[in-house]
Amino acid sequence: MTEPVVQIRDLHFARGERMIFDGIDLDIEPDGVTAIMGPSGTGKTTLLKLIGGQLRPQSGSIRVYGEEVTGLSRHGLFELRKKMGMLFQSGALLTDINVFENVAYPIREHTRLPDALIRDLVLMKLQAVGLRGASAMMPSELSGGMARRVALARAIALDPMMVMYDEPFTGQDPISKGILVKLIRELNDALGLTSIVVSHDVLETAAIADYVYLLSQGKVIEHGKPEALLASDSEWARQFLDGKADGPVAFHYPAADFRDDLLRGGRA
């Protein structure tokens, strides 16, 4: 069997008092699309930041391409990140330069290529996401879906081996959702990438994923092939997949007893 691209073992991470990950094991196999799903606030974004080394866990191991992220120096991290592209939830485009320059940015920062070549590279990446015509536009002039595609072109600008997508479909209309779904799968196969897609859009994600992890309350609740998960009859998976308000994941955020709270009167 091939070595997983990302291997997470017994990961613990807390923000202040609040435990976000309470012992997670997770493998991302090469060349596929792995989906990580879970309700908002479970820590999906946090997980991507841990994999990228932007956050450090309290304990546990995160190996990416065989390197222990938690032990890397800043320089080592930067070298590793050149192999990863990340698509932020907001797109995170640089707002003071246009689309072309945004995509050219990582190339200019990390290589000494001549301008003519950079131009060709950038146009190729923009062509791949269908936005070559928008290269002179400023980020503020783009629709949400276009901004994400530009961010995607930027994420693949340096030909990374792995791309992480943070909720690429959230807030998109059905058409741009469809475009993004198709793009993620096609780019993954055409460029031989390893993709990690974080999402809570069950159907879209299941349609392109080779493997799915379901997270909730700091744990991996289920994992497996999408067909198997969709057919799963575990209570938790059903609540998430069918969108029920109450179930193993409580509707209420943890709180003091309601009656006590009311009886305390004006004292907050």
Partner 1 sequence: MLDALQKLGRVTLGFFQRLGRGHLFLLQIFTTIPGVLIRPRLILTQLYTVGVLTLLIILVSGLFVGLVLGLQGYNTLVDFGAEDSLGVMVALSLVRELGPVVAALLFAGRAGSALTAEIGLMKATEQLSGMEMMAVDPVQRVVTPRFLASFISLPLLAAIFSAIGIYGGYLVGVGLLGVDDGAFWGQMQDKVDLQGDVYNGIIKSIVFGFVAGWIALFEGYDAVPTAAGVSRATTRTVVHTSLAVLGLDFVLTALMFGD
What residues make contact with ligand ADP under the rule CB under 6 A?
15, 20, 40-46
**DSSP β-ladder status, 84-87 and 162-166:** parallel
Nearer to ligand ADP, 135 or 167 (CB): 167
42, interface contact from partner 1, Mg ion, ligand ADP, none, CB < 5-8 Å by kind: ligand ADP
Shortest separation between residue 221's beta carbon and partner 1, angstroms: 27
| Largest Cα span, the chain | 72
CA distance 224 to 63: 21
Q: Which residue from 95, 141, 92, 103 is spatially nearest to 125, judged by alpha carbons?
A: 103
Q: Are the beta carbons of 135 and 166 closer than 8 angstroms?
A: no
Position among 46, 61, 89, 170 found at the interface with partner 1 (CB under 8 A): 89
∠ at Cα 241 (235, 247), nearest 5°? Answer: 40
d(CA 249, CA 232): 17
258 C-beta neighbours (distance < 10 Å), count: 9
Residue 232 touches which member of Mg ion, partner 1, ligand ADP, none, C-beta under 5-8 Å by kind = none
Residue 51 structure tokens:
């994999």
Piece of the chain touching partner 1 by CB under 8 A; list 3-11, 89-97, 212-220, 237-245: 89-97
Nearest Cα residue to 159 out of 208, 193, 182: 193
State which residue, 45 or 234, has the beta carbon closest to ligand ADP.
45
Question: Which of 78, 189, 192, 203 forms a contact with partner 1 (CB under 8 A)?
Answer: 78
Q: Measured from the CB of residue 259, what is the shortest distance to ligand ADP in angstroms?
A: 26
CB closer to ligand ADP out of 46 and 191: 46
Residues that bind Mg ion (CB under 5 A): 45
The rounded distance, in Å, linking the Cα atoms of 155 and 195 is 12
Q: Which does 249 bind (CB under 5 to 8 A by kind): partner 1, ligand ADP, Mg ion, none?
A: none
Cα separation, 80 vs 62, whole angstroms: 13
What residues between 120 and 179 interact with partner 1 by CB under 8 A?
A: 154
Shortest distance, position 166 Cβ to ligand ADP, whole Å:
7
Which of 229, 227, 92 minimizes the C-alpha distance to 166? 92
Q: How far is the CB of 105 from partner 1 (least distance, A)?
A: 7
88 touches partner 1 by CB under 8 A = yes
Q: Which residues bind partner 1 (CB under 8 A)?
A: 49, 52, 54, 77-79, 81-82, 84-86, 88-90, 92-95, 105-106, 109-110, 154
